[in-house]
A and B are shown apart, each in its own frame.
Chain A
């Protein structure tokens, strides 16, 4: 078999891996949903592209619309970077099944790295950029500039993809590597938002303008950067492939907290301990938690130093987001991590009810974090105490009951510790997440508008208090409905386990 035939075989296996995913084999509707969701996202990007191109036309004192977008390209790349955690596997992981076969490891790495570079995923932003450029560039500056500009964006996405692969692979070594992109992106955000004017605006615009005008030096530099990133990845992936195969992490537990203060709560206390241990001992859950805290901190800093969130809606968004983000991130996939040991839980009486209670109390307890972050903002008068109290009660008493409903419907097991990439949520979960973040702002705005500043928030406190006071009733209701659907859910958890 020559190298080309081998390449074709590897490509065929990769395609089969996607097509024969257990969830799709079991569920044709899932296939339809995925295609629908893919098209839905594409349509949104398309819409954004068109709206931005039309909206920016002449809106910035003669500055071309595409220069305005170019100034913000680091933000697009940041989103692109984190989305890749959901979708993109590392070559080291992809090469795993072939390591004991007589295929050169370096060949495997070249195949998978090249496929990563030329992946269609790197063209996904095209749904936004193609219509945007068509309206904002092709018409005014000609087709050659337009194609050059798109080409430049594509190069940036490829480079970004290689950066992701680098970090993602290092993460298998130690979680602390997550700080690398966080620090870099934090610095970039700092340069963009802290000063009065975006410091990166000019260099970003110059770079993409150079691509648009086919400036050879810039293109050569871009190729060189991609080449360096490719080579760095090649070396790293090659060295790390055995790490993916035989992870021997956490072999020795350094210390275990007994949490005996929870003993007084009997069975509930045991489930509370279980919840704490799940959050602190599993890589995927820890990353989720750290990301939530990071996002909260980032929004607080942006509000503290910048002016972007000083409007009524802006304040509401930041305040709500800080209260809701952790709960939304974890509760939207409630029970999905428990899918790994659902049979054990289901063979104990009422264990799911106790677990739901523990999750409610634990997530409510975590809401001591936002007020701590907000203290400086309250001190400088950027946020009111009433707004904080309003959202605190609203989150615990209204948003959490809504999010907990997902316990009835979730049936995809999420990996606890094995891998960082993988399934991170389905369409229903994402729709609910968006609703959770948008609906309360509408309710808050409306109540503040009708009742005034303080009474508006008192109304939110009142709504939340009802949910808090009745939490045992609605949790019991969720538990009963979960039990009514238990067979379908357990089947789903089993089918999606280790897949």
Chain B
């Protein structure tokens, strides 16, 4: 499933949050979105998810048989999973209840849910399921894990994750990279990941978009894993 952005504009008062003339994310791609604070990464994701209104332009999702504008229908919600922040979590549920809730409203059987959870055993590290804790009482890292898993539970064709490496310990960061890569290989899903961690972004994203003041200023081909230097130059990470 492709994501097609055309003439997309969003301002907050005088500040330009997103200003993209044309950009296409091809089906099956893993796209990394990088940029400094305030560059517009989260706003772009929210526009893609129809959570805020664009001042102009459209976000469309399309493949051979479908072509829809996300602002005009809810159809895309059947094949899109996302985790942007804690406002995606129902924090008075336990993680077990939350996964059951998401699974059932997405039409998954208990067996399918169990199979899904089994795949994430290592990622959850015995700290999420069966803990008798509400989500609100989990650590920030474990909340992040619950959010990411809930987004993937739908087995979406499009997966959007805002800063998925935040709050995670190093082994969980490594685990999520592995899980995302594997998920992309197995399902051919389109995956969008924003991050401030250049290393992780370069590791998993064959294509990286660099955002500055709402504009995609560079569309970097990272299929050979060579984007690191270009990004480090831009962010002045090295001396």
For residue A341, which residues in chain B have a CB less than 8 angstroms away from its CB? 87-91
Q: Which parts of A285-344 form the interface with B (CB within 8 Å)?
A: 340-344
For residue A269, which residues in chain B have a CB less than 8 angstroms away from its CB? 104
Quote the shortest CB–CB distance from A281 to chain B (angstroms): 4
How many residues of chain B are within 8 Å of chain A by beta carbon?
Answer: 32
Q: Which residue from A250, A348, A417, A491 sits with its C-beta under 8 Å from B105?
A: A348
Does A346 count as interface, using CB distance less than 8 angstroms? yes
| Closest Cβ neighbor of B96 among chain A residues | A256
For residue A281, which residues in chain B have a CB less than 8 angstroms away from its CB? 92, 134
Of the candidates B90, B91, B97, B105, the one having the most CB atoms from chain A within 10 angstroms of its own CB is: B105
Against A, the Cβ 8 Å flags (1 = close, 0 = not) of B74-114 are 11011010101101111111100100110011100000000
Counting contact residues on chain A (CB < 8 A from B), the size range is: 35 or more
Q: Are A417 and B51 in contact (CB under 8 A)?
A: no
Quote the shortest CB–CB distance from A198 to chain B (angstroms): 44
Quote the shortest CB–CB distance from A408 to chain B (angstroms): 17
What CA separation (Å) do A286 and B77 show in the bound complex? 32
Q: Are A252 and B88 in contact (CB under 8 A)?
A: no
Q: Are B51 and A267 in contact (CB under 8 A)?
A: no
For residue A343, which residues in chain B have a CB less than 8 angstroms away from its CB? 49, 51, 84-85, 87-88
Residues of B within 8 A of A (CB): 49-53, 74-75, 77-78, 80, 82, 84-85, 87-94, 97, 100-101, 104-106, 132-134, 136-137
22 contacts between A and B (CB under 8 A): A250-B137, A251-B133, A253-B94, A256-B132, A267-B105, A274-B93, A277-B93, A278-B92, A341-B87, A341-B88, A341-B91, A342-B87, A343-B51, A343-B85, A346-B50, A347-B51, A347-B82, A347-B88, A351-B105, A354-B105, A487-B52, A497-B87
A417 with B136, Cβ < 8 A, contacts A277-B97, A487-B53 known: yes
Q: Are A347 and B49 in contact (CB under 8 A)?
A: yes
Q: Are A253 and B133 in contact (CB under 8 A)?
A: yes
Q: Are B104 and A347 in contact (CB under 8 A)?
A: no
Q: Taking A251-B133, A253-B132, A267-B104 as given, write out 18 further A-B residue pairs in contact, using a Cβ cutoff of 8 Å, ordered by the A residue number.
A: A250-B136, A253-B94, A256-B97, A256-B132, A277-B97, A282-B92, A341-B87, A341-B88, A341-B90, A342-B87, A343-B85, A346-B51, A347-B51, A347-B77, A348-B77, A350-B74, A487-B52, A494-B87
Chain A interface main SS type: helix
Q: Are A349 and B74 in contact (CB under 8 A)?
A: yes
| Closest Cβ neighbor of A491 among chain B residues | B52
What CA separation (Å) do A273 and B96 show in the bound complex? 14
| Closest Cβ neighbor of A280 among chain B residues | B92
Does A416 count as interface, using CB distance less than 8 angstroms? yes
Against B, the Cβ 8 Å flags (1 = close, 0 = not) of A262-276 are 010011011101100
Q: Are B91 and A251 in contact (CB under 8 A)?
A: no
A349 with B78, Cβ < 8 A, contacts A252-B132, A267-B104, A281-B134 known: yes
Against B, the Cβ 8 Å flags (1 = close, 0 = not) of A87-104 are 000000000000000000
Q: Are B90 and A274 in contact (CB under 8 A)?
A: yes
What CA separation (Å) do A490 and B50 show in the bound complex? 10
Quote the shortest CB–CB distance from A478 to chain B (angstroms): 16
| Closest Cβ neighbor of B106 among chain A residues | A348
| Closest Cβ neighbor of A339 among chain B residues | B87
Q: Are A344 and B90 in contact (CB under 8 A)?
A: yes
A416 with B92, Cβ < 8 A, contacts A251-B137, A347-B77 known: yes
For residue B136, which residues in chain A have a CB less than 8 angstroms away from its CB? 250, 417
For residue B80, which residues in chain A have a CB less than 8 angstroms away from its CB? 347
What CA separation (Å) do A490 and B53 show in the bound complex? 10
What CA separation (Å) do A270 and B92 show in the bound complex? 14
Q: Which 3 A-B pairs have the closest CB atoms?
A: A487-B53, A344-B88, A349-B77
Q: Which residue from A270, A282, A347 sits with its C-beta under 8 Å from B101?
A: A270
| Closest Cβ neighbor of A259 among chain B residues | B97
| Closest Cβ neighbor of A413 among chain B residues | B87
Quote the shortest CB–CB distance from A452 to chain B (angstroms): 49
Q: Are A344 and B89 in contact (CB under 8 A)?
A: yes
For residue A494, which residues in chain B have a CB less than 8 angstroms away from its CB? 87
For residue A346, which residues in chain B have a CB less than 8 angstroms away from its CB? 49-51
What CA separation (Å) do A271 and B100 show in the bound complex? 12
Quote the shortest CB–CB distance from A312 to chain B (angstroms): 44
For residue B104, which residues in chain A have a CB less than 8 angstroms away from its CB? 263, 266-267, 269-270
Q: Are A340 and B133 in contact (CB under 8 A)?
A: no
Q: Which residue from B50, B92, B106, B133 sits with its C-beta under 8 Å from A417?
A: B92
For residue B91, which residues in chain A have a CB less than 8 angstroms away from its CB? 340-341, 416
Q: Are B97 and A344 in contact (CB under 8 A)?
A: no
What CA separation (Å) do A354 and B106 show in the bound complex? 13
Quote the shortest CB–CB distance from B127 to chain A (angstroms): 14
What CA separation (Å) do A344 and B88 show in the bound complex? 4
Q: Are B94 and A256 in contact (CB under 8 A)?
A: yes
